[in-house]
Structure 1
Amino acid sequence: MVGVLGVVVVTVADSVVGMDPIVALIGQLMFTLLACQTQLLLAYRRYSAQRRRAAARILFQDSVSTVAWTRSRIRRRQRFQHWFLLAQMEEPRQHWVYPRSTDWWENIVLVHWDDRRWMRRFRMSKRTFIDLVEALRPRLQRQNTSLRSAISVERRVAVAIWWLASGTSYQVASDLFGIGKSTVASAVVEFCLAVEVELLSKTVSFGRAIGQIMDGFRRMGFPHCVGAIDGTHIPICAPGGRPDQYGNRKNYSSILLQGTVDHRGRFVDAEVGWSGKNHDAFVFAHSAFCVAMDSGSLIPGNPFMVVDGVRIPPVVIADGAYPMRRWLMKPYGRTATTQAQKMFDTRLSRARNVVECCFGRLKARWRCLSHRLQVREHNVIAVVTACVVLHNLCESRGHPITGRGAAPETILVSHGEGQELTTHHRHLAEGKVVRDALAKYMGLDSTS
């Protein structure tokens, strides 16, 4: 249309003869502008067509990829539904309870084993085992159901004691006693909790034998003593995500067992649960035993002995890692200069050896304490406490340790533990006065 208008203008301009040259120039300019506009319109049409073709191509490709993604999503959903249906399909059970053999326990151990074999495998005689079963029966008895019969209390106690004494895996105990591995784990924890609730207060205490304990330590050379205290590490598995919470200076995870024993090596107090990274003195200062001894309410009657005007309460002996107290005696060590002080250290070391031997017998009798306990963190205290109670039970019945035992572990003094512990000046002064009086009394007793 623009071209036609330009031709008409040129024709009119040429047909007018004698027209003003200015009018002719204007006509030429109009023709040039119309021609340029025509070229621009054609170029725009070509550009628009290319854009439409490119957009169509991109849209086609996107539609193809969208379809492919949708199809793959549908296939994944179908596979998931298929797997879910397969998981919901119940396979026919061959057995409601997997058949296991109990012949070894019922027909060999209970029938043919004598006390020597019972002592070697269960660390106690059959009579002691039966008494223990009867004491724990109210807490461990389970009812039979229409689906299965309950495991007897005798077998539950036997599998727990076997695991504590041998330190073997749950799978080995499962094969021997004919019960599932998870049932073995549950039986061990339930047994330990029952022992802690029923027998701890009856077995681990001073009782009325304070006079006998003092006489026993007096025969060892240390008068007016009611116990020896020390600590030992019990290896445990590092809690998940917190490997350093229970790490000790020996580069493994452990908890501390602080034990106070009498002259025969039986526990009269046990503190369990502190992290192995803590110092012995820190555990001692925060223990219930320390608080009770400070108040004088733990020893029945709290008898005193007077030496040169100094009232000496019932004392407990310890090594150099513990803080001095009026009732807690530790050696002079390098500060010993007189003959009486050196004799005091010698007798204290001889009498304190009973607690180290006690820890050795404890770990030799219950082998689960010699390596990392394979129980959860919140069950460790119950297992260790049960071992302490059973140790006292076996010691009171006179059961020896058969086989090769573990060497006792001595806790050495370590001043670089990261926790600076200070002793109150009053406790230190009172402890030194009592220690000097005892050293003088021992020196006079040896000369007489």
Structure 2
Amino acid sequence: MLHKDLLKIPEPIPIDSTDERWKWVKNRLGAIDGTYINVRVSSTDKPRYRNRKGEIAQNILAACSPDEQFIYVLAGWEGSAADSRVLRDAISRPNGLKVSIGNCQYYLFDAGYTNGEGFLAPYRGQRNHLNDWRDGHRPTTAEEYFNMKHSSARNVIEMCFGQLKARWAILRSPSFYPIGIQTQIVLACFLLHNHIKKTMLVDPLGDDIHSSGSQPNVEFSKSITEIETSDVWTSFREHLAHSMYSEWESSHCG
């Protein structure tokens, strides 16, 4: 009942943004990723909830805004479910994650997903984590530079997950409630995170680093319901990568 009040309504990065972190991802709505929350289930259900790390967990999909508020949350999927499968479910739901077709707005996510309209992924086979460019390492190609800037902008979702689990101890270890209640607890913690972000002038954690899901009621034109590679979206990423790299090289040489 509180989703429409507490989930963040997505707002694209404005065209005139000069912020170094966001200016190359104009029209970006937010960042998407999955995280595992450990749960207790019956012995017969454990194989379905066992993730690739061997933990018994839910696979939670979330989208967040640049100001570290959650836009969308889908809880309840078993830990064995692939991230791409959970995302397909999210965008196919009537009250799911919405991105309008043809308006060049998009979310950022990692290389485990498909690069397609409405969802911008980094280049595969290239360095794509912030740690790859620490200790003096520098990108040497347009693809690497794109991945570096993409990772910097996408890192906001990791910060949100870190704050969420640091704030709510019940998310750091499995509870003894039935799985349906455990799912509701997860959703409540996400919503309370947003409430804190909206009402507290200073967040003390701000600098630290059954399926259910919904997005606030927002009017959309026809929305994307599947993610497919396309020449148009591949060209969009290619043009963006080379524009970013060219400007960086010019300023660096200067």
Same fold at TM > 0.5: yes
Shift of 1:243: 2.1
Change (3 A) 1:292 1:358: closer
* CA–CA separation in structure 2 for the residues paired with 1:216 and 1:366: 35
Change (3 A) 1:213 1:265: farther
Alignment correspondent of 1:321: 112
* CA–CA separation in structure 2 for the residues paired with 1:246 and 1:426: 28
State whether structure 2 residue 180 is matched by structure 1 residue 353: no
Shift of 1:401: 3.2
Q: Secondary structure at the match of 2:48?
A: coil
Change (3 A) 1:285 1:430: farther
| Pairs within 5 Å for 1:104-183 | none
Change (3 A) 1:247 1:440: same
State whether structure 2 residue 173 is matched by structure 1 residue 371: yes
Shift of 1:203: 1.5
* CA–CA separation in structure 2 for the residues paired with 1:213 and 1:240: 52
* CA–CA separation in structure 1 for the residues paired with 2:199 and 2:73: 20
* CA–CA separation in structure 2 for the residues paired with 1:271 and 1:364: 20
Change (3 A) 1:269 1:215: farther
Q: State TM-score, norm by structure 1.
A: 0.44
Q: Secondary structure at the match of 2:49?
A: coil
Q: State TM-score, norm by structure 2.
A: 0.74
* CA–CA separation in structure 1 for the residues paired with 2:125 and 2:29: 26
* CA–CA separation in structure 2 for the residues paired with 1:293 and 1:427: 18
Q: Secondary structure at the match of 2:34?
A: strand
- Kept in 2, the 8 Å contact 1:203–1:392? The answer is yes
The residue type paired with residue 318 of structure 1 is: F
The residue type paired with residue 244 of structure 1 is: P
- Kept in 1, the 8 Å contact 2:69–2:194? The answer is yes
Q: Of residues 75, 86, 95 in structure 2, which corresponds to 1:272? A: 75
Change (3 A) 1:367 1:436: same
Q: Of residues 46, 66, 85 in structure 2, which corresponds to 1:282? A: 85
Change (3 A) 1:425 1:283: closer
Shift of 1:359: 0.2
Give identity over the alignment, percent. Answer: 25
The structure with the greater share of residues assigned to helix is 1
Q: Of residues 416, 427, 434 in structure 1, which corresponds to 2:229? A: 427
* CA–CA separation in structure 2 for the residues paired with 1:214 and 1:272: 35
Alignment correspondent of 1:392: 194
The residue type paired with residue 123 of structure 2 is: Y
RMSD, aligned α-carbons: 3.1
Alignment correspondent of 1:226: 29
* CA–CA separation in structure 2 for the residues paired with 1:252 and 1:203: 30
- Kept in 2, the 8 Å contact 1:217–1:263? The answer is no
* CA–CA separation in structure 1 for the residues paired with 2:227 and 2:73: 27
State whether structure 2 residue 229 is matched by structure 1 residue 442: no
* CA–CA separation in structure 2 for the residues paired with 1:320 and 1:257: 17
Shift of 1:429: 3.2
In the alignment of these two chains, the number of paired residues is 218
Q: Secondary structure at the match of 2:177?
A: coil
Please, which runs of 5 or more residues in structure 2 have no aligned partner? 128-138, 210-225
* CA–CA separation in structure 2 for the residues paired with 1:358 and 1:201: 19
TM-superposition CA deviations, 1:260-283 (whole Å, max 9, x none): 111121111111111110111111
Shift of 1:440: 2.5
| Pairs within 5 Å for 1:22-421 | 197=1, 199-206=2-9, 209-211=11-13, 215=17, 219-224=21-26, 225-288=28-91, 293=98, 295-296=100-101, 304=103, 313-334=104-125, 339-398=141-200, 399-401=202-204
Whichever of the two has the greater Rg, that structure is 1
